[in-house]
């Protein structure tokens, strides 16, 4: 009956051309009679929320309310969380935005696995030694991998995202192309609020609803989050131990094999033309027979089934990867991402940089170098805002203009070449 009134009546009245607020009031009146005041939270929200500029959102919000009530979220939770709700246009813009540039893997890796992130991660590994040991003992997962995920997802908790999860997800539940997906995430968010595990005002994250030190989605939280420090709350924002333990639990549930490597860098025989690809698993003996060696020249070892990963074909770094690589991949299904996590975890354990160079004459920049590049551009009078290390369209335009003025190929690539050219010009002008 509740769903019928909440959904059916306003939609029916709207079809007849009745204005939205009249339809809602009508539903409210009948709702009060049939369901009691407590269930009228969605009406309250729809009528008194900040929907002035988005009147059409009242309808999906209303439909959503019916769904929420059926899934264990109380009217009080809904009302408290959503009264005064104002849609966030920036969130819709972020969802609609296309990536501006394609980033070559050498740029991607240079920014994600730079010396600063390695040094910070090694310090964190020491600081969280007890948690890491617990992860290895209780979950059987290599503790450096959740630390690496932490470092790459939020720079060890520095950038967890400041957008209200409820506001972002309510906006995406009512508008845009993936409403069904985001409605489910919103329901799970409201259930987190209702449980008291994380205070609503602390529940902030990315525009798409990922939150906490390692950026869980709310539905993932409900499935996999652990109270790893044992204080009675699963708090992935306020408690690093909970975030790391939950991330390790994610890896475990994704098939992590205890005491096994994710993989390692290898060296191909000359003119290698054999199979490759993450899904193309073969016996390790078959890879050996093709002449593939570890990068230090030793024989391949590890689990039986392995794949050969060639991110830039036969000419760049090559990797033999095992099932644990797939577990990392499942955290964020992109091979470049999984490789950055895997490589950073090796670096945290004391390993060095990749031995094989990427096939480029213009390698990528660390975050410190990106900021330096921007500072040099600003010093030359280019208006690119702050030197924040984010290489957006203004930085690219400035690079292109500088390249043209310096007689370089104007490819706008924010790499080592343009940085060195800027450094050289500064040196000569400093004299």
Active site residues: 153
For residue 273, the Cα-to-chain-centroid distance in whole angstroms is: 35
Q: Alpha-carbon distance 229 to 236, whole Å?
A: 11
Write the DSSP string, 387-403.
--S---HHHHHHHHHHH
Nearest residue to 128 (alpha-carbon basis) of 228, 250, 256, 231: 228
CB of residue 405 vs Ca ion: minimum separation in angstroms? 56
Which range of residues in 2-10, 234-242, 263-271, 307-315 is near Ca ion by CB under 5 A? 234-242
SS3 state of residue 292 = coil
Phi and psi of 294, rounded to 5°? -65, 160
Q: How far is the CB of 133 from Ca ion (least distance, A)?
A: 17
CB of 42 to Ca ion, least distance (A): 32
Q: Which of 413, 387, 382, 409 is nearest to 398 (CA)?
A: 382
Which of 86, 93, 35 is closest to 58 using CA atoms?
Answer: 86
Kindly state whether residue 242 participates in binding Ca ion, applying the rule CB under 5 A. Answer: yes
Closest to Ca ion by CB, 183 vs 191, is: 191
Q: 186 with 166: CB under 8 angstroms?
A: yes
Binding of Ca ion by 196 (CB under 5 A): no
Q: Quick one: 243 or 308, whose CB is closer to Ca ion?
A: 243
User: 226 or 422, CB closer to Ca ion?
Assistant: 226
Token pair listed for 296: 């230090």
Least separation in angstroms between CB 155 and Ca ion: 22
Distance from C-alpha of 20 to C-alpha of 23, rounded to nearest angstrom: 5
Give the DSSP per-residue string, 185-249.
HHHHHHHHHHHTSS-GGG-EE-TTS-BTTTTB-HHHHHHH---TT-SS---TTT-HHHHHHHHHH
Q: In whole angstroms, how close is the CB of 246 to Ca ion at the nearest point?
A: 10
Q: Give least dist CB 233 to Ca ion, A.
A: 5
Only segment of 23-31, 73-81, 174-182, 220-228 that touches Ca ion (CB under 5 A): 220-228
Which range in 57-65, 208-216, 229-237, 381-389 contacts Ca ion by CB under 5 A? 229-237
Of the ranges 38-46, 47-55, 230-238, 306-314, which one interacts with Ca ion (CB under 5 A)? 230-238
* Nearest residue (CB) to Ca ion, 191 versus 347: 191
238 is a contact residue toward Ca ion (CB under 5 A)? no
CB hemisphere CA count around 375 (13 angstroms): 8
Is residue 227 within the footprint of Ca ion (CB under 5 A)?
Answer: yes
Binding span for Ca ion by CB under 5 A among 238-246, 321-329, 337-345, 377-385: 238-246
Number of other residues whose CB lies within 10 A of the CB of residue 254:
17
The Cα 145–Cα 341 span in angstroms is: 7
User: Residue number with the shortest CB distance to Ca ion?
Assistant: 227
Torsion of CA 283, 250, 180, 76, to 10 degrees: 170
Token readout for 392 is 């957006």
Q: Which of 93, 115, 127, 231 binds Ca ion (CB under 5 A)?
A: 231
Dihedral (CA of 84, 87, 89, 91) sign? positive
Least gap, CB of 216 to Ca ion (angstroms): 14
Q: Assess 153 for contact with Ca ion (CB under 5 A).
A: no
Q: Which of 79, 229, 257, 397 binds Ca ion (CB under 5 A)?
A: 229
Query: Which residues contact Ca ion (rule: CB under 5 A)?
Result: 227, 229, 231, 233, 239, 242
């Amino acid at each position: 009956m509740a769903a019928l009134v909440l959904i059916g009546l306003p939609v029916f009245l709207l079809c007849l051309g009745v204005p939205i607020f009249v339809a809602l009031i009508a539903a409210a009146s009948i709702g009060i009679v049939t369901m009691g005041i407590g269930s009228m939270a969605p009406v309250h929200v729809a009528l008194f929320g900040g929907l002035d500029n988005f009147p059409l959102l009242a309808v999906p919000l209303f439909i959503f309310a019916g769904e929420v009530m059926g899934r264990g979220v109380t009217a009080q939770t809904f009302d408290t969380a959503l009264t005064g709700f104002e849609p966030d246009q920036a969130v819709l813009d972020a969802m609609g935005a296309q990536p501006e540039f394609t980033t070559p893997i050498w740029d991607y890796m240079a920014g994600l696995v730079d010396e600063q992130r390695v040094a910070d991660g090694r310090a964190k590994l020491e600081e969280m030694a007890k948690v890491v040991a617990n992860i290895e003992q209780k979950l059987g997962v290599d503790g450096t991998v959740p630390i690496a995920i932490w470092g790459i997802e939020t720079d060890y908790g520095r950038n967890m995202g400041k957008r209200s999860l409820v506001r972002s997800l309510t906006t995406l539940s009512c508008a845009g192309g993936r409403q069904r997906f985001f409605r489910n995430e919103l329901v799970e968010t409201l259930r987190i609020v209702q449980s008291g595990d994380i205070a609503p005002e602390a529940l902030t994250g990315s525009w798409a609803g990922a939150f906490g030190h390692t950026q869980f989605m709310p539905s993932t939280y409900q499935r996999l989050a652990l109270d790893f420090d044992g204080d009675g709350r699963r708090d992935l924002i306020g408690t690093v131990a909970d975030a790391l333990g939950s991330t390790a639990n994610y890896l475990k549930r994704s098939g992590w094999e205890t005491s096994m490597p994710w993989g390692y860098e290898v060296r191909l025989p000359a003119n290698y033309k054999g199979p490759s690809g993450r899904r193309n698993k073969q016996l390790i003996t078959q890879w050996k027979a093709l002449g593939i060696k570890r990068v230090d020249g030793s024989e391949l070892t590890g689990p039986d089934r392995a794949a050969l990963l060639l991110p830039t074909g036969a000419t760049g770094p090559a990797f033999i990867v095992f099932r644990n690589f797939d577990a990392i991949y499942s955290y964020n299904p992109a091979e470049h991402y999984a490789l950055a996590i895997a490589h950073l975890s090796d670096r945290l354990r004391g390993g060095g940089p990749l031995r094989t160079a990427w096939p480029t004459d213009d390698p990528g920049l660390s975050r410190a170098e990106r900021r330096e590049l921007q500072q040099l551009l600003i010093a030359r009078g280019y208006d690119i805002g702050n030197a924040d290390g984010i290489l957006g369209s203004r930085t690219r335009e400035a690079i292109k203009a500088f390249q043209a003025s310096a007689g370089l190929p104007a490819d706008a690539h924010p790499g080592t070449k343009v940085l060195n050219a800027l450094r050289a010009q500064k040196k000569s002008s400093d004299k």
